[in-house]
Amino acid sequence: MFDKLSAAEVRYEELAQKLCDPELVNDNHLYRDTMREYKNLTPLVDKYREYKKAKEIEEESRMLLDEGVSDKDFRELVESELAEARASLEVISEELKILLLPKDPNDDRNVVIEIRGGAGGEEAALFAGVLFRMYSMYAERNGWKIEVVNANETELGGYKEISFLVNGEMAYSKLKYESGVHRVQRVPETESQGRIQTSTATVAVMPEADDVDVEINPTDLKIDTFCSSGAGGQHINKTESAIRITHLPTGIVVECQDERSQYKNKDRAMKILRSRIYEAALEEQNSKLAAERKSQVGTGDRSERIRTYNYPQGRMTDHRIGLTLYKLDAILNGDLDEVIDALITSARAAQLEASIDESAQQ
């Protein structure tokens, strides 16, 4: 472990030097990748330096005690510092084990989220709207920015489907656990008998792909323009500003009609298209890594039922980790930290267990 930590510290210092190089600053892609690696190493190196400082205190205290300290009060002070340093070393060692676990290279990326109403008709579309509001409020709490790309709104204000970008630091690291089927149990607004109905909506979370991640040949694209539908006044309904892009090799179709500008709609549609192609490549790669999939907490399967929101009981249950919280109103208002932190902790614990098992087999 300490060989890895020492190598990480050396690499960290190398990156710090590189970031001061004016030539690197002029190369946007290289600067971005270097800064990303530097930021990823920072928590690990900071914790390693904290460990080395505690180790130094422990060794100095032990040496003083071995030399035989005659003064009683001073000896008690040294013994106290030794015990404190050893306790710190034990805690820091466990933290370092977690920090040394392989990182998801996409964790610090922006996110593309697609929400679709599932079983339940209009009620499912209304629930899709509730989920969009929940993620919007969670993004606001984290200082992230939301950009709607495409929305198919229903008459009652729900969404048959809505696609949006979440731009912010470490957005994917927190939102990636939201992929799957979300189930709601409540009395619908459309129900006059007061009966509880179960409806679903699917959520797909994808890391936003950069130009360099996915190379798209322009000849593989079919681009159509059409008039935007829905609210927006005469301009948005009469001008062919909406864009539909079809990626011929994969059959992926992306639409964007949220902006008045055809250029902006095309730009956003291309972001979604790149992310979908990138996600498909990741899924293919992950399917070949069975051991890694065992350590995941349902981060990619859209068909997996992951969560239930029960309105009558004010309850939310995440089925993957058996977490139940009776604070549904707060959660639907964007207070997702407790849920997401529990998912991250569970994923890390599973990953650590898998790592220990692998080391034992070697």
As a whole number, the mean pLDDT across the chain is 84
Of 194-198, 327-331, 356-360, the range with the highest mean pLDDT is 327-331
Name the burial class of residue 187, with classes exposed (0-12), middle (13-18) and buried (19+) by CB atoms within 10 angstroms of its CB. Answer: middle
Instruction: Give the model's pLDDT for residue 285.
Output: 65
Beta strands in the chain (DSSP E): 111-117, 145-153, 159-167, 180-186, 197-207, 221-226, 242-247, 252-256, 305-310, 315-318, 323-325
Which of 3.40.190.10, 3.30.70.1660, 1.10.565.10, 3.40.228.10 would CATH assign to domain 106-362?
A: 3.30.70.1660
pLDDT at 296 over 60: no
User: What pLDDT digit, counting tens, does each position of 220-244 carry?
Assistant: 889 888 776 654 443 344 456 788 8
Contacts 24+ apart (CB under 8 A), 247-251: 247/216, 247/220, 247/221, 247/273, 247/277, 248/220, 248/221, 248/222, 249/220, 250/277, 250/280
Distances (CA, A) of 70 to 74, 85, 95, 174, 307: 8, 22, 37, 54, 63
pLDDT of residue 100: 84
pLDDT digit string (tens) for 73-115?
888 898 899 999 999 999 999 888 888 887 888 888 899 999 9
User: Is-above-0.95 flag for pTM?
Assistant: no
Predicted confidence at residue 322, as pLDDT, reads: 94
